[in-house]
Copies of this chain bind each other. A is one copy, B any other.
Amino acid sequence: MAKLNENFNNLKKNYLFVEIAKRIKAYSEQNPEKAKNLIRMGIGDVTLPLAPVVVEAMVKASREMGVKETFRGYEDSGAGYDFLREAISGYYKSFGADVSADEIRVSDGAKSDCGNIIDIFGSGNKVLVTDPAYPVYVDSNIMSGNDVIFADSTEENGFAAMPDKNVHADLIYLCSPNNPTGSVYTTEQLEEWVSYALENNAVIIYDAAYEAFITEDNVPRSIYCIKNAKKCAIEICSLSKTASFTGTRCGYTVVPNDLIQKDSKGNDVRLAEIWGRRQGSKFNGVSYPVQRAAEAVFTPEGQEQCRENIKYYQENARIIANTLDELGIKYTGGVNSPYIWLKCPNNMDSWEFFDMLLNEIQVVGTPGAGFGKNGANRFRLTAFGTHEKTAEAMERLKALLKK
Interface residue ranges, A against B (CB under 8 Å):
1-6, 8-9, 11, 15, 18, 21, 43, 45-52, 54-55, 58-59, 62-63, 65-68, 70-76, 108-109, 111-112, 114-116, 119-125, 135-136, 139-140, 143, 170-171, 200-203, 244, 246-249, 261-264, 269, 271, 274, 277-278, 280-290, 293
A-B contact pairs, 16 of them (CB 8 A): A3-B121, A4-B271, A5-B119, A5-B120, A6-B263, A18-B280, A46-B73, A47-B68, A48-B68, A58-B65, A58-B289, A59-B59, A108-B283, A109-B284, A116-B282, A246-B284
> Please, how many angstroms separate the alpha-carbon atoms of A68 and B120 in the complex?
40
- In the complex, which residues of chain B have a beta carbon less than 8 angstroms from the beta carbon of A288? 247-248
Report which of B135, B269, B280 forms a contact with A4, defined as CB distance below 8 A.
B269
A58 contacts B62, C-beta separation under 8 Å = yes
CB distance from A208 to the nearest CB of B (A): 17
B4 contacts A143, C-beta separation under 8 Å = no
B287 contacts A249, C-beta separation under 8 Å = yes
10 closest A-B pairs by CB: A115-B282, A55-B66, A3-B122, A1-B201, A72-B247, A49-B71, A45-B73, A73-B246, A58-B62, A2-B170
CB distance from A297 to the nearest CB of B (A): 13
- In the complex, which residues of chain B have a beta carbon less than 8 angstroms from the beta carbon of A262? 1
With A121-B5, A263-B6, A290-B290 known to touch, is A283 a contact of B74 (CB < 8 Å)?
A: no
A287 contacts B287, C-beta separation under 8 Å = yes
Q: Which B-chain residue is minimally distant from A52 (CB atoms)?
A: B66
> Please, how many angstroms separate the alpha-carbon atoms of A5 and B261 in the complex?
11
Q: Which B-chain residue is minimally distant from A71 (CB atoms)?
A: B49
- In the complex, which residues of chain B have a beta carbon less than 8 angstroms from the beta carbon of A119? 5, 143
With A2-B171, A112-B282, A263-B4 known to touch, is A247 a contact of B65 (CB < 8 Å)?
A: yes
> Please, how many angstroms separate the alpha-carbon atoms of A67 and B66 in the complex?
24
